[in-house]
Amino acid sequence: MYKPGHRMYSIVKMRCPRCHEGNIFHSNALFNPSAALKMHGSCSACGFNYQPEPGFYFGASYVSYAITTAIAIAVFVVLFPFFSWEEEWIYFTAIGGSIVLSFPVVFRLSRSIWMNFFFRYKSPEERALGEDADFPALRKR
């Protein structure tokens, strides 16, 4: 669908935001949270540091909150035509269950999106120039 170089490729495939080659997480096996939620320290392909500063991923919790809210609203909208308000336990169970079950995906997706807010793809030629390539206007001075 998306090709390397497109921001969505990095987000959906959980790849390094810089080179779109190295994996961000140790494993794609979502049924094994201890491996699926574990991040590499840096990119195996380009060496890009996945921990640019302490607490960097604190902001990913806001992305996670937005995704979780969207899931809860989607579940509610799907259930609403079929169940009355008197059966609120169905809503609580379905929304709570969907949030718990989607946690590994939301966790990974929110971190991937958060990284892509701040770092963009660089071609191998741009990467060869070093980090100055992030600020071409400054480099010209």
Q: Interface residues with Zn ion (CB under 5 A)?
A: 16, 18-19, 22, 43, 45-46, 48
61: CB partners within 8 A, 6+ apart: 110
Closest separation in Å from C-beta 118 to Zn ion: 14
Closest separation in Å from C-beta 48 to Zn ion: 4
Closest separation in Å from C-beta 53 to Zn ion: 18
Cβ-based neighbour number of residue 64 at 10 Å: 20
67 vs 111 by CB, closer to Zn ion: 111
26 vs 71 by CB, closer to Zn ion: 26
86 vs 125 by CB, closer to Zn ion: 125
Closest separation in Å from C-beta 18 to Zn ion: 5
Residue located via tokens 């059966």: 87
36 vs 43 by CB, closer to Zn ion: 43
CA 134 to chain centre: 21
Q: What is the dihedral of CA 61, 64, 68, 74, to 10 degrees?
A: 150
Give the three-state DSSP class for 25: strand
